[in-house]
């Protein structure tokens, strides 16, 4: 049973594929998450710029939600990126990516961790997830209540950042399940955002669009990235989402990567960094 658990968990927790060798499973409580080397991150990011939970009041955290990891900006705070991890992961893996690969001067990075909930597709085992998933192919059975709870959480994070920087200097993004939440959150936010980033993901509750999309973000730049060898979130779902968004949103682009599965790669991270730099009008 434990061996089966580990196989199923690996399938659904390829959230940051370059560190999947650090998978830690805890059969005692059903949790499965990626534990990357925070020591490496701390060695490269000055301690003054690295904080845990400093960006948001505990008012916005559910009972079993850990505080976010925050990478403070180099110099004056001029923009913020909120980035959501994938199913079964935590904020730590992508915080490391933000601090090392996507670091841009004057940009603050916020990486929250989802609540730990039972996930149907993983035999009901408990793990960090933004919403429940019953199938990776039948999108008529989506967990709308869970999706909307996570969207409300992301909107609260954005609103908190608006106290420090204009909304059009705030980006929301994510990988896999986190990217799905980021797409819905960004397209429905009431104020204009700087940009939306979706990696290896799809647009959830897509039949609700364009009706639920807010006009304030009708021209907000969106970048979608997907591996051509993705067998977890099939590439065609990413392409279908791109076409769906493109039908009502003119500023969306999609980039595909040969031989890349449900993970990330240096070329993709370079493209995301370039996207941020272009929108902010500064060299990455």
Q: Report the alpha-carbon distance of residue 90 to residue 94 in Å, rounded.
A: 8
Residue 259 is among the residues annotated as catalytic for this protein: no
* Active-site residue identified among 80, 176, 185, 241: 176
* Active-site residue identified among 85, 155, 249, 262: 262
Q: Which residues contact 243 (CB under 8 A, 6 or more apart)?
A: none
Q: Which residues contact 62 (CB under 8 A, 6 or more apart)?
A: 115, 153
Q: Report the alpha-carbon distance of residue 254 to residue 274 in Å, rounded.
A: 14
The DSSP output letter for 250 is S
- Written in H, E and C, the secondary structure of 180-221 is HHHHHHHHHCCCCCCEEEEECCCCCCHHHCCCCCCHHHCCCC
3-state secondary structure of 194: coil
Q: Report the alpha-carbon distance of residue 203 to residue 210 in Å, rounded.
A: 11
* Active-site residue identified among 89, 132, 143, 230: 230
Decide if 223 contacts 271 (C-beta within 8 A).
Answer: yes
Residue 262 is among the residues annotated as catalytic for this protein: yes
**What is the rounded (10 degree) CA torsion for 14, 221, 279, 16?**
0
Which residues are part of the catalytic machinery?
176, 230, 262
């Amino acid at each position: 049973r434990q061996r089966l658990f580990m196989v199923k968990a690996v399938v659904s927790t390829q959230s940051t594929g370059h560190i999947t060798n650090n998978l830690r499973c805890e059969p005692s409580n059903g949790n499965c998450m990626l534990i990357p080397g925070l020591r490496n991150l701390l060695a490269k990011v000055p301690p003054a710029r690295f904080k845990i939970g400093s960006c948001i009041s505990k008012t916005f955290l559910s009972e079993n939600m850990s505080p976010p990891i925050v990478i403070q900006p180099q110099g004056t705070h001029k923009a913020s990126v909120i980035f959501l991890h994938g199913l079964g992961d935590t904020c730590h893996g992508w915080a490391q990516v933000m601090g090392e690969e996507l670091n841009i001067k004057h940009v603050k990075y916020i990486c929250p961790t989802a609540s730990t909930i039972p996930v149907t597709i993983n035999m009901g085992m408990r793990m960090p997830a933004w919403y429940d998933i019953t199938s990776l192919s039948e999108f008529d059975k989506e967990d709308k209540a869970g999706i909307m709870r996570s969207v409300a959480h992301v909107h609260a994070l954005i609103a908190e950042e608006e106290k420090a920087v204009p909304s059009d200097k705030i980006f929301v993004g994510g990988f896999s399940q986190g990217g799905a939440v980021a797409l819905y959150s960004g397209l429905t936010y009431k104020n204009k955002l700087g940009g939306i980033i979706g990696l290896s993901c799809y647009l959830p509750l897509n039949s609700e669009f364009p009706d639920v999309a807010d006009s304030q973000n009708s021209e907000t730049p969106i970048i979608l990235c997907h591996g051509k060898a993705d067998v977890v979130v099939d590439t065609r779902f990413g392409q279908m989402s791109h076409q769906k968004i493109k039908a009502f949103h003119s500023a969306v682009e999609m980039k595909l990567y040969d031989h890349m599965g449900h993970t990330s790669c240096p070329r993709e991270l370079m493209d995301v960094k370039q996207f941020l730099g272009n929108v902010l009008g500064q060299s990455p």
